[in-house]
Amino acid sequence: MNAVLQYTVQGLAAGSFYALAALGLAVIFGVLGVVNFAHGAFYMLGAVAAAVLLDTVGMSLWLALIVVPLLMLVFGMLVERLLVRWLLPLDPLYNLLLTFGLTLLLVDLVKRRYGVSGLPYERPSALDGRVQLAGVGLPVYQLFVIGVALLVCLGVWLLMTRTRVGMIVRAATERPELAGALGINVGRWVTPVFGFGVALAGLAGVLAAPFRAITAEMGSDFIIILFAVVVIGGLGSIVGAVVGGFLVGLVEAFGQAYAPTFAQVLIFVLMAVVVLARPAGLFGREEATA
Amino acid sequence: MTSIATAGASVSEQHAAIAGARPWQRLVLLGIGLVVALGLPWFVYPPVAMDIAAWALFAVALDLLLGYCGLLSFGHAAFWGGSAYATGLIAIHLGVPFPVAVLGGALFAMVLAVPIGYLSVKRSGIYFAMVTLAFAQMLFFIANQASSLTGGENGLQGVPRSFFGIEAVETDSFFFYYAALPIILLGMWAAWRIVHSPFGRVLVAIRDNAPRARALGYDVERYKLIVFVLSAGLSGLAGGVFAVSHGFVALPELHWATSGEVVLMTVLGGIGTLWGGVIGAGLIVMLADYLASSGFDGIGIVTGTVFVTVVLLFRRGIWGTARHMWLSRRSS
């Protein structure tokens, strides 16, 4: 029982990174129709930025949690304006290729600048140690990650349901044809939404900085699992991204605990089952036949 | 919206290229191609020449799927790398001549492609790319775990090059090139034959308008699955030759970066041109070799920039641009 609680917390913490980043992937896909391959690289940049800011100007994790996503927001908006925008009228596969090329570029640039050995990141002492809950010592940092992820998801949910911008984004994500037909101008939200999605990936990266090894390659497995997450949850679905993220985190944690050999494979088995049973994903809508 | 598959050449241009190319033009192109293929190891370091030939077939196999069926696979490393491991294991444990081992590897890739293809062709477009990518990565993790069979992180060492006891081929990369080239050319001929068959015409019909092809009574998913398996088999031939040429198989052959690299070659050469991939492969392999030998370790910076530039400014690719200029000159 104790072990189950421990693995659940561990899985939800891992799932927090997936959920936050997948949420960004989902809103970008929803509004732009772009599958952003560079999302893993943006996650990596978030972690690297946090580490570099700590090292050079001594920025604390608390401040980095706000500053880095803002930097990534600006960076994402630039990427959209300078690159992604030109390919929006074309087959969405072009932007997959573009962001793939961008990934190669960003990863090797970081590798050249900061090496391959990984950057250090010291966790703030307030988040060190364990708390006792039902007789189990749970790492404070994992609980903190879950808390932040849930807060952000709640915040995004409020943004999506209570504000006009959110409603437009939601309409464009879930029923793009209908939103257009009702005369909603989705176009002007394209750049900020892309930036927002990138900022969420950056935030996941900052949260991961004290928890995972910070290397240029840290996003390269992450993005593949992220793709599995959105295929499982349903690519067009915001709820699906969050639920899929936590689900995959749990599968990973329990897999590592009880069948370590198959832990990573289990996620893809889960994906295969979902593709077989519900091709559109758990929360997805059937795609219009192209 | 223009489909990605017709980027290398517009549909009408492709039809003109198929119907309008005069026999002598085809013969000239074929002749040039053969001369380059036969002369390559005289000008390029032979192992690199072999790499170019293997990647060229790999890119042609990918274009068979992407250019003629409109399906962008981001998981073809599964078949290239899967066959590389299978070929290596067959060659090590059975000691058969290397062409037999390569055929075995290609067969393994085709068998592997059946379940992956069956699941993937349920989705199209961007979903197809993501699902193939994920399944290929699953294979990567499996190969990493099954280290007793694959050598895990260390790779599969000591793949022999046995060839009927002919020592020149078994030890000298120059002669090995000529022993392996027929396999590559056979694969390319097969791709050409598939494209220019009634089956190939149905593929193009599905690519251009899947609902219409369905309405005409074609089983779209079955056609897609068959071409997926064929493409996997040709990728397997290429991967097998690559494995024997290098004498070892390493995990990166299965990684998504390999899938991306072959997509880059195809896009650079021109999607839907079949032979464009050969040029793309030649350029990228030589560029990578040059960068590696000059001690530059950030090859992703260069290939990433090429990728971004081609996709933004140069979507027809090299072969597609050449054909476009040739055809528009002729029609004016």
- Per residue in B202-235, pLDDT tens? 998 888 888 899 999 999 999 999 999 999 999 9
Q: Say yes or no for a CB contact (<8 Å) between B307 and A261.
A: no
Amino acid at A264: Q
Any idea what the Cα angle at residue A251 is, between residues A249 and A253, rounded to 5°?
70
Question: Would you say residue B157 lies in a domain?
Answer: yes
Instruction: Classify residue A193 by burial, with Cβ atoms within 10 Å: 0-12, 13-18, 19+.
Output: buried
Q: Is the residue at B265 inside a domain? A: no
Quick check: B306 and A101 CB within 8 A?
A: yes
> Considering chain B, what is the average pLDDT of its residues?
89
Suggest the residue from A34, A93, A252 to mutate for an interface test with chain B (most B CBs closer than 10 A).
Answer: A93
Tokens of B32: 């040039």
B43-99 pLDDT, tens per residue? 999 999 999 999 999 999 999 999 999 899 999 999 999 999 999 999 999 989 999
pLDDT band for position B17 (cuts 50, 70, 90): low
Give DSSP secondary structure letters for B19-32. Answer: HH--HHHHHHHHHH
Higher pLDDT, A36 or B6: A36
For an interface test with A, which of B73, B141, B299 has the most A Cβ atoms less than 10 Å from its Cβ? Answer: B141
Any A CB within 8 A of B328 CB: no
Separation of alpha carbons A268 and B137, rounded Å: 9
What percent of chain B shows pLDDT beyond 70?
93
Confidence of residue B7 (pLDDT cuts 50, 70, 90): low
Q: What is the pLDDT of residues B258-306, one digit of tens each?
A: 999 999 999 999 998 889 999 999 999 999 999 988 888 788 899 999 9
Q: Which residues of B touch A114 (CB under 8 A)?
A: none
- Which of A101, A112, A261 is nearest residue B307 as measured by Cβ atoms? A101
Using the Cβ of B301 and the Cβ atoms of chain A, whether some distance falls under 8 Å is answered with yes
Identify all chain A residues contacting B145, using CB atoms and an 8 Å cutoff. Answer: 261-262, 265
Assess whether pLDDT exceeds 70 at residue B181. yes
Partner-chain contact B131 A111, CB within 8 Å: no
% of residues, chain A, pLDDT over 90: 51
Q: Is B123 at the interface with chain A, CB within 8 A? A: yes
Is B232 inside any structural domain?
yes
> CB of B267 within 8 Å of any CB in chain A?
yes
Average pLDDT over residues B9-25: 62
**Residue B119 falls within a domain, yes or no?**
yes
Could you tell me how far CA B118 lies from the centroid of its own chain? 20
Whether residue B153 lies inside any domain: the answer is yes
CA distance A217 to chain B (A): 12
CB–CB of B72 and A111 under 8 A?
no
Q: Which residues contact B97 (CB under 8 A, 6 or more apart)?
A: B162, B163, B164
Strand partners, A139: A130
Count how many domains chain B has.
1
Q: Alpha-carbon torsion B4, B6, B8, B10, what sign?
A: negative
Chain B segment 11-70 residues within 8 A of A by beta carbon are: none
B129 in contact with A at a CB cutoff of 8 Å? yes
Residue B21 in this model has a pLDDT that exceeds 70:
no
* Chain A residue closest in CA terms to B307: A101
pLDDT of residue A161: 82
Contacts of residue B304 in chain A, CB cutoff 8 Å?
101-106, 108
Specify the range with the lowest mean pLDDT, choosing from A46-50, B123-127, B131-135, B312-316: B123-127
Q: Identify the residue among A109, A224, A269, A286 best suited for mutation to test binding to B, counting B beta carbons within 10 A and taking the highest.
A: A224
Cβ atoms within 10 Å, residue B24: 8
Contact A72, A198 (CB under 8 A): yes
pLDDT digits (tens), chain A, 290 positions: 688 888 999 999 999 999 999 999 988 988 888 999 999 999 999 999 999 999 999 889 999 999 999 999 999 999 999 999 999 888 888 999 999 999 999 999 999 898 878 888 888 887 877 777 777 778 899 999 999 999 999 998 888 888 888 888 777 767 777 877 887 777 778 899 999 999 999 999 999 998 888 999 999 889 999 999 998 998 878 889 999 999 999 999 999 888 887 888 899 889 888 888 888 888 877 654 33
Q: Measured on CA atoms in the order B265, B266, B268, B269, is the torsion positive or negative?
A: positive
* Residue at B301 is within a domain: no
Distance CA B15, CA B21 (A): 10
**Inter-chain CB proximity B308 and A98 less than 8 Å:** yes
| Interatomic CA distance for residues B84 and B101, integer angstroms | 10
Which three-class secondary structure string do you get for chain A?
CHHHHHHHHHHHHHHHHHHHHHHHHHHHHHHHCCCCCCHHHHHHHHHHHHHHHHHHHCCCHHHHHHHHHHHHHHHHHHHHHHHHHHHCCCCCHHHHHHHHHHHHHHHHHHHHHHCCCCECCCCCHHHCCEEEECCEEEEHHHHHHHHHHHHHHHHHHHHHHHCHHHHHHHHHHHCHHHHHHCCCCCHHHHHHHHHHHHHHHHHHHHHHCCCCCECCCHHHHHHHHHHHHHHHHCCCCHHHHHHHHHHHHHHHHHHHHHCHHHHHHHHHHHHHHHHHHCCCCCCCCCCCCC
Token pair 């062409």: residue: B99
Mean pLDDT of B160-188: 90
Residue B269 lies in a domain: no
Instruction: Look at residues A108, A102, A91 and name the one whose alpha carbon lies nearest to residue A37.
Output: A102
Tell me the residues of chain B between 182 and 221 that have a Cβ less than 8 Å away from chain A. 210-211
**Residues B145, A265: C-beta atoms closer than 8 Å:** yes
Nearest to B281 by CA among B124, B53, B30, B100: B53
Q: How far apart are CA A74 and CA B283, in angstroms?
A: 35
Residue B187: inside a domain, yes or no?
Answer: yes
Alpha-carbon distance of B237 to B117, in angstroms, equals 18
The encoded tokens of residue B89 equal 């294991």
Single pTM value for the model: 0.91
B60 lies in which domain range? 46-253
Pick from B7, B122, B299: CB nearest A279? B122
Nearest-angstrom CA–CA distance, A50 and A124? 13
User: How does DSSP classify residue B96?
Assistant: -
Question: Of all helices (H) and strands (E), which one includes residue B216?
Answer: none
Question: What is the distance in angstroms between the Cα of A264 and the nearest Cα belonging to chain B?
Answer: 7
DSSP string over B155-208: -B-------TT-HHHHH-HHHHHHHHHHHHHHHHHHHHHHHTSHHHHHHHHHHH
Q: Which two tokens stand for residue A268?
A: 């893809």
